[in-house]
């Protein structure tokens, strides 16, 4: 089983949506038994709910994000096979703090070949969250394709 982790700042928007979208993608393809998927924030407040707009946008995808609770990134997360961050700053923070993680921590955009960061929709309207979710879905398809090759 491959362990895939998504990282953002607070684990209430981007990484929680990436986790949920990736799980749904795996379920739809019948591959959910092959992967363990989770998400964390490098500055998360443990137990915080997903943002309201993240819940609304995920509901449009047929995903219930109401049970999501934010989790703080810790050294235990390094047990994952691959750690995908939303920004270069997230990646740099992890590698600086845990140098042994180099080689398994990637900016999601870097992992799929476009080097683009996923902008933070926190505090913005639903349209922005929808745009971020669409951008992530395209990247996640490429993430899965790359993981399946290896």
Question: Could you tell me which of 89, 92, 91, 39 has the C-alpha nearest to residue 68?
Answer: 39
Residues 34-46: tens digit of each pLDDT: 999 999 999 999 9
Choose the catalytic residue: 32, 69, 81, 120.
Answer: 120
Active-site option among 13, 14, 92, 125: 14
Report pLDDT for 150: 79
Catalytic annotation present for 14: yes
Quote the crossing angle between the two packed helices 14-28 and 52-60, to the nearest 10°.
Answer: 20
pLDDT for 92-110, tens place per residue? Answer: 999 999 999 999 999 999 9
* Domain 2-145, classified CATH 3.40.50.300, yes or no: no
Closest by Cα among 63, 37, 35, 69 to 50 = 69
The domain segmentation of the chain, as residue ranges, is 2-145
Selected catalytic residue, list 8, 13, 97, 125: 8
Identify whether 8 is a catalytic site residue. Answer: yes
Structure tokens of 99?
């140098």
Residue 39 CA to residue 59 CA, distance in Å, equals: 18
DSSP state of 87: S
pLDDT tens, position by position, 54-95: 999 999 999 999 999 999 999 999 999 999 999 999 999 999
What is the pLDDT at residue 87? 98
**DSSP category for residue 125:** -
Gap between the Cα atoms of 93 and 43, Å rounded? 11
């Amino acid at each position: 089983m491959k362990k895939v982790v998504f990282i953002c700042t607070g684990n209430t928007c981007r990484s929680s949506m990436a986790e949920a979208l990736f799980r749904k993608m795996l379920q739809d393809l019948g591959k959910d038994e092959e992967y363990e998927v989770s998400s964390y924030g490098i500055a998360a407040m443990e137990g915080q709910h997903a943002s309201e707009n993240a819940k609304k946008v995920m509901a449009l995808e047929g995903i219930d994000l109401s049970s999501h609770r934010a989790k703080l990134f810790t050294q235990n997360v390094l047990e994952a096979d691959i750690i995908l961050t939303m920004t270069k700053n997230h990646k740099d923070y992890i590698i600086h703090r845990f140098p042994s993680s180099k080689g398994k921590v990637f900016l999601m955009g870097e992992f799929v070949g476009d080097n683009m960061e996923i902008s933070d929709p926190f505090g913005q309207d639903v349209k922005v969250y929808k745009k971020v979710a669409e951008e992530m879905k395209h990247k996640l398809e490429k993430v899965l394709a790359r993981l399946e090759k290896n």
